[in-house]
Amino acid sequence: MHRRAYFLLERDFQELKENNFKGITAFPVSEDLMEWGASIQGLQNTVWQGLFFQLTINFTSEYNLVPPVVKFLTIPFHPNVDQNTGRACIDFLDDPAKWNTSYTLSSILFTLQVMLSNPVLENPVNLEAAQMLIKDESLYKQIVLRFFNQPSQLRDDRPESLKDPDKFIRSTKAVSFNDYYKTWSGIATSKATEYYRSPLPEDPHFIGEYHKWKKLELKHPREWNLK
């Protein structure tokens, strides 16, 4: 089982290196490839633009039959991120029954990148962030930037390779903002509002098809809904 997981993670790593996706980076920090460090950059034309967040991704020998454990080291002020643990609340990470073996390291990172600027406000794990976003979006954006400048960090017991940002090779290939919507829908722990809902591709070759998708023209009115 471990050999299978090792092979699949080697494949995922090769995919990242070959495609050089913009704004997502990951690198193994253990010889058996079970522990990874990663970083994601906020999407352009959003409050998260230019902000980088470090994460840890821990796999088991059962990958890709079960999801990894993903946590933010740089914890954002976000409705779908636990402010204490850094856990990202995405249903396929929280519930193995919703995990799909077509998901890869790249698709996980894309989802997290999209999640930052596309919060799900129904049953948020960070209620304070959700309420502030609903009541005063301008203030929420200010708090987001303030938290980034003085971030909530988990205890720094990371491997040395994670503590050196130069260990991560920044990606340079651009992907349009609208294309990202193809990766995001109903995959957060809470159900998205109509404004943000779009289908998550089930195609196991979805990364290969990623750049072929046409841009979506979002015509839904903006609406926040906290239940």
Q: What is the pLDDT of residues 106-165, one digit of tens each?
A: 999 999 999 999 998 988 999 999 999 999 999 999 999 988 887 555 544 444 444 443
Q: What is the pLDDT of residue 149?
A: 82
Kindly tell me the sign of the dihedral angle through the C-alpha atoms of 22, 103, 119, 177: positive
Q: pLDDT by residue (tens digit) across 165-187?
A: 344 333 333 333 334 334 443 44
Quick one: tokens of 31? 């010889």
Quick one: tokens of 113? 């990148």
Count each helix (H run) and each strand (E run) in the chain, helices first.
Answer: 8, 6
Q: How far apart are CA 64 and CA 34, in angstroms?
A: 12
Q: Is the pLDDT of residue 53 over 80?
A: yes
Candidates 43, 89, 116, 175; catalytic one: 89
Average pLDDT over all residues of the chain: 75
For range 53-58, the mean pLDDT: 97
The burial class, CB within 10 Å (0-12 / 13-18 / 19+), for 202 is exposed
> Which amino acid would we find at residue 161?
S
- pTM value surpassing 0.75: no
Q: What is the pLDDT of residue 2?
A: 83
Confidence of residue 64 (pLDDT cuts 50, 70, 90): very high
CA 6 centroid distance within chain: 22
Q: What Å distances lie between residue 207 and 19, 48, 53, 177, 200, CA to CA?
A: 9, 23, 22, 15, 12
- Active site (annotated) includes residue 89: yes
Highest mean pLDDT among 33-37, 183-187, 209-213: 33-37
CATH 3.10.110.10 given to domain 3-149: yes
Highest mean pLDDT among 35-39, 89-93, 216-220: 35-39
Q: What is the pLDDT of residue 155?
A: 45
Backbone angles phi, psi at 186, to 5 degrees: 60, 20
Q: What is the pLDDT of residue 8?
A: 96
Q: What is the pLDDT of residue 20?
A: 86
